[in-house]
Structure 1
Amino acid sequence: MDLVSLIGTILAFLVIIVGTLLKGSSVDALLNPAAFVIVICGTLAALLVQTPGAVLKRALAMLPMVYRPPQHQPANLISRIVGWSEISRRQGLLGLESQIDAESDRFVGKGLQLLVDGTEPEALRGVMEVELETREHSDLLAARVFENAGTYAPTMGIIGAVMGLMAVMQNLADPGKLGHGIAAAFVATIYGVGLANLLMLPMAARLKGMIQKQTQMREILIEGLVSIAEGENPRQIEAKLQGFTP
């Protein structure tokens, strides 16, 4: 569990609640079913119209990564690649066959399989780079779902506020309802702007950062596997791959 992200999410809700209290209002003022339906359901409806089902499914699958991010450890990966290089020098490429089944990452397993099969270095690089670009594109599309939600939510909030004001205008003859009605109208704006800037947009940025790190890890892997296929010395491979790390 990533405590920083969890604390940030909790703080986002506290900011709205405490800010409301400090402004002299009450928490009950934030509870508005109509605003919830307009902003949350409206944003979801817009996403469903825009987003293919497969992309939406991938986005939902990536959501837990915000709070349970995958571990990106370039030094550990480089150490493993150097170990594979040493095995290949002692036992040949077929000596790496036992390493394939031990890999839980399908991308790593595919690269090792191509290496064991004796694929030419440039052909191996080409196959793996196509796989890399495809995965990166798919993941970025999924991350943009949250970015798009952050775009639609404030607009839905404005729609909710306008609809609330329309209801207020219909009750001008009853001054006692005006204050409550206007306050309720702007709750939708709080929902929309808060959802976008405290949750959706930060989540999208966080996921994009993770995708970038994952891409870097895969680039290290590709370069390492190609170097093994070319028969480079393990120490040379290690020195080359160290260039990917700060």
Structure 2
Amino acid sequence: MDLATLFGLVFGTICIVVSILIGGGWAPSALMDFVDAPSIFIVVGGTLAALAIAHPISDIKRLVPLFMRSVKSPSNNTFELIEKIVHYSDTARRNGLLSIEHAMEPGDDPFLRRGLRYAVDGMDREQIEASMEAELESMGSRHSGGKRVFDTIAGMGPAFGMLGTLIGLVAMLKNMSDPKAIGPNMAIALITTFYGACIANLLFAPAATKLAIRHEEEELNKRIIIQGVLGIQAGENPRALKSRLLVFLAPQLRGSDEEA
């Protein structure tokens, strides 16, 4: 798991719990004051209903895998990926393009393996670039759809929290004849807003942002792979290819021989 994400979730939850306990005089029962089944039902149920209206079932089924993706550390190190591409470039330069097929490893990025196979199979530069760009565009569409699911939840959660508050206020105003019931009813009415804000601002809005960052990282890696495969197919000098690919990285990430 990404340590920053784990820290954010844990620290954010601790801050909320401690704030509740401080407000309740450190009494454990103060936490139970923030548990209300009808409020949970309208926020969670209403948000899921809006999600079902806004998105196809196929997108909703990806909700849990997408959330897990947002909290996982990125799997590919970009500098190591460049080193791998340069290794294959050197192999092709020394032993011929066909030798790459036997040099590929099972753990290599599938996108890289497909690109190298295109080159080994004799596809020309335009065909390779078109095929890999089409796959990259398809990936972008999938990732964009997943992020929209999280954006919907982040937007609908607070909205249904406010709706629950309005329902609670209506119930409270109908019982104004009993002054003692006003305070507790008002508290329950506001809890739904609390739930909606937590769902949006602690979970799904940050997760949507993290998904966007993960997409940018993966897109960068795939663009590096495309340029690397095209360089290998063209017989580019490995050192020249490495220098060209390192331009995609920030100077401090390029290795000691490339820092600038």
1:33 corresponds to: 37
Could you list the per-position Cα deviations for residues 43-62 of structure 1 after superposition, in whole angstroms to 9, with x for gaps in the alignment? 11111111112222334222
Residues 1-246 of structure 1 aligned to structure 2 (within 5 Å): 1-24=1-24, 26-100=30-104, 102-103=106-107, 105-246=109-250
Task: Note the alpha carbon deviations across 1:53-88, whole angstroms, 9 max, x for none.
Answer: 222233422211233222331110111111111111
Identity %: 33
Q: What TM-score do you get using the length of structure 1 for normalisation?
A: 0.94
Distance 1:49 1:29 in 2: 32
Task: Give the stretch that moved more between structures: 47-56 or 236-245.
Answer: 47-56
Q: Which structure 2 residue ranges, 5 or more long, are not aligned?
A: 251-260
Question: Does the aligned pair in 2 maintain the 1:59–1:143 contact within 8 Å?
Answer: no
Deviations 1:79-100 (A, max 9, x none): 1111111111122221111245
State the alpha-carbon separation in 1 of the partners of residues 32 and 58 from structure 2. 38
**How much has 1:195 moved relative to structure 2?**
1.2
Structure 1 position 101, deviation (Å) = 5.8
TM-score by length of 2: 0.89
Q: 1:204 deviation in Å?
A: 0.4
Q: Which moved more, 1:101-110 or 1:181-190?
A: 101-110
Contact 2:224–2:248 (CA under 8 A) maintained in structure 1: yes
Q: Is the 8 A contact 1:122 1:226 kept in 2?
A: no
Give 3-state SS (helix, strand or coil) of 2:19's partner.
helix
Q: 1:59 to 1:140 in 2, by over 3 A?
A: farther
Q: Is the 1:161–1:187 Cα contact (8 Å) retained in structure 2?
A: yes
Instruction: Name the CA distance, whole Å, in 1 between partners of 2:129 and 2:212.
Output: 24
CA deviation string 1:153-209 (max 9, x = no partner): 110000000111111122222222111000000000011112111111001001110
- Structural RMSD (CA): 1.6
Runs (4+) off by over 6 Å: none
Contact persistence 1:124–1:226 (CA under 8 A):
yes
Report deviation, 1:235: 0.8
SS of 2:139's equivalent in the other structure is helix
Q: What stretches of structure 1 of length at least 5 have no aligned partner?
A: none
